[in-house]
Amino acid sequence: MRKEKNLKPMLSPKSVAIIGASRNPEKVGHIILQNYIDAGYAGKIYPINIDATQIMGIKAYRSVLDVKAPIDLAVIAIPAEAVPEAMEECGKAGVKAVVVVSGGFAEIGKAGLQEQLALTAEKYGMPTLGPNCLGVMNPRSRSDTLFLPTFKISRPEIGGVSFMAQSGAVGSTVLDMISGEGFGLSKFISYGNAAHVDESDILNYFMKDKETKVIVMYLEGIKDGKAFMKIARKVGRAKPVIVLKAGKTRAGSQAAHSHTAALAGDYEVAEAAFRQSGFIIAEDISELLYYAKIFASEAQPRGPRVAIVTDGGGAGVLMTDAVASSGVLKLAEFSPGTISALKKAMPPLVNARNPLDLAGDADGRRYAEALSILSSDQNIDMLIVIVLFQTPGADSALAAKLIEYKGGSTRPMVVVSIGAEYTEMHKRMMERSGLPVYDSPRSAAAALAALYSYSMFRNRKSLSAP
Q: What is the DSSP string of 369-400?
A: HHHHHHTT-TT--EEEEE--TTSTT-SHHHHH
Rounded to the nearest 10°, the torsion over CA 421, 427, 431, 433 is: 100
Domain ranges of the chain: 1-132, 153-296, 299-458
Residues in contact with 401: Cβ distance below 8 Å, sequence separation at least 6, in sequence order = 364, 365, 367, 368
Question: Do 84 and 120 contact (CB within 8 A), yes or no?
Answer: yes
**CATH match for 153-296 among 3.90.950.20, 3.40.50.261, 3.40.47.10, 3.90.1150.10:** 3.40.50.261
Cα end-to-end span (Å), the chain? 25
pTM of structure: 0.91
Can you give the pLDDT at residue 116? 97
One fold for 1-132 and 299-458: yes
Query: Per DSSP, what are the bridge partners of residue 245?
Result: 219
Q: Which segments of 239-335 does DSSP mark as H helices, in order?
A: 250-260, 267-276, 285-296, 313-325
Orientation angle between helical segments 313-325 and 441-464, nearest 10 degrees: 30
Predicted confidence at residue 247, as pLDDT, reads: 72
Q: What is the DSSP letter of 420?
A: S
DSSP state of 284: S
Which residues partner with 347 through β-bridges? none
Cis peptide before 355 (omega within 30 of 0): yes
- Give the DSSP per-residue string, 391-450: STT-SHHHHHHHHHHHHT--S-EEEE---SHHHHHHHHHHHTTT--EESSHHHHHHHHHH
What's residue 450's pLDDT? Answer: 97
- CA pair distance 386, 394, nearest whole angstrom: 11
Quickly name the fold that domain 1-132 has: Rossmann fold (3.40.50)
* 299-458: CATH topology: Rossmann fold (3.40.50)
What is the per-residue pLDDT for 267? 77
Alpha-carbon distance 96 to 71, whole Å?
A: 7
* Secondary structure (3-state) at 102: coil
DSSP 69: S
Rounded to 5 degrees, what are φ and ψ at 162? -110, 140
Q: Under 8 Å CB-to-CB from 164, ≥6 apart: which residues?
A: 188, 189, 190, 191, 199, 202, 203, 206, 215, 216, 217, 218
Q: Which of 113, 120, 175, 114 is nearest to 144 (CA)?
A: 175
CA distance 274 to 386: 32
User: What's residue 263's pLDDT?
Assistant: 47
Q: How many CB atoms lie within 10 A of CB 179?
A: 16
How far is 224 from 317, CA to CA, in rounded Å? 47
198/192 Cα distance (integer angstroms)? 9
Provide the pLDDT for residue 258.
Answer: 47
Per-residue pLDDT 10s for the chain (466 aa) are 678 999 999 999 999 999 999 999 999 999 999 999 999 999 999 999 999 999 999 999 999 999 999 999 999 999 999 999 999 999 999 999 999 999 999 999 999 999 999 999 999 999 999 999 999 999 999 999 998 877 677 788 899 999 999 988 898 888 888 877 778 999 999 999 999 999 999 999 999 999 999 999 999 989 888 999 999 999 999 999 999 998 775 554 555 444 444 444 577 888 888 999 999 999 999 999 999 999 999 889 999 999 999 999 999 999 999 999 999 999 999 999 999 999 999 999 999 999 999 999 999 999 999 999 999 999 999 999 999 999 999 999 999 999 999 988 889 999 999 999 999 999 999 998 889 999 999 999 999 999 999 999 988 855 454 4
Q: What's the DSSP call for residue 61?
A: B
Residue 80, phi then psi, degrees to nearest 5: -55, -40
Give how far the C-alpha of residue 28 lies from the chain's centroid of Cα atoms, to the nearest Å.
Answer: 25
- For the chain, the maximum distance between any two Cα atoms, rounded to a whole number of angstroms, is 81
